[in-house]
Amino acid sequence: MTAQVLPLDDRLPRYQQLRDLFAAAVADGRWRPGEAIPPEDSLAEQHGVAVGTVRKALAVLVTEGMLERRQGRGTFVRRGNFGNALARFFRMTDAKGRPMRPVSRILSRKVLPADAEVAEHLGVADGAPIIALTRLRLVDGAPLLFEEVHLPRDPFAALLDLPFAEFGDLLYPLYETACGRVVASARETIRFGQPPAAAAAELGIDAGVPTAIIDRIAFGFDQAPLEFRRSYGPAERFSYSIDIR
């Protein structure tokens, strides 16, 4: 096996150079989310270093949340678990306390110029073309969340011709399968206020009813913004809990 030449940057220790190479393999999709990475001894041989150096580089990526170790199975590219994110903020149980899974409905899809706020969150120029989706999420047939989803157009162009029925209930798996874009992490900001008219109408509430407003910026493994999402939900359904130790 031919050894790969490491980046020529003597300012960085060898394990840090390896860390950057391995991170690039994840970011560009050579190492896929949910899949095992090559064995440590193979990586050491490929890059012409000791196994301990590879292990140290991988440990950094585990600490950073890009990789995860599974006992007895090896090291895997971490796949973010965003499927139950709503459960952290909104009560989604039936009368007997059993959890209910939300379903999603795409309401609209447009290509628009990014306004200043969206451009800042997505890291694009003002006026750059974006894909703007509106989506309704329902639990047991009742609207729970109205969402405005903003995506840079070119990386997500495959979504423009996709029938609404094929979007599914979760967007992040669709981003991966249809567009090759993997969401690795997200940052959320929560506040309370009044919903815009469109959100109030779809949620079936009065415009003056307080709502929880959740802004989320989703990032790829390279920490580049992939999505800016603003969600509105009735404050009476909002419930947030956290363990502090």
What pLDDT, on the 0 to 100 scale, is given for residue 8?
Answer: 47
For the ranges 79-88, 93-102, 177-186, the one whose mean pLDDT is highest = 177-186
Burial 4-25 (b: 16+ CB within 10 A, else e): eeeeeeeeeebbebbbbbbbeb
Kindly state whether residue 4 falls inside one of the protein's structural domains.
Answer: no
What pLDDT, on the 0 to 100 scale, is given for residue 1?
Answer: 38
Q: What are phi and psi of 26, to 5 degrees?
A: -75, -45
40 and 93 fall within a common domain: no
94 and 189 fall within a common domain: yes
What residue numbers bound the domain in which 53 lies? 14-77
What pLDDT, on the 0 to 100 scale, is given for residue 4?
Answer: 47
Domain count, the chain: 2
73 and 116 fall within a common domain: no
Poorest-pLDDT segment among 44-48, 162-166, 199-203: 44-48
**Residue 91 pLDDT level (bands cut at 50, 70, 90):** low
Burial 37-76 (b: 16+ CB within 10 A, else e): bbebeebbbebebeeebbebbbebbeeeebbeeeeeeebb
* pLDDT at residue 3 greater than cutoff 80: no
* pLDDT at residue 132 greater than cutoff 80: yes
Which residue is listed with tokens 């415009």? Answer: 207
**Residue 101 pLDDT level (bands cut at 50, 70, 90):** confident
Q: What are phi and psi of 47, to 5 degrees?
A: -100, 0
111 and 225 fall within a common domain: yes
102 and 166 fall within a common domain: yes
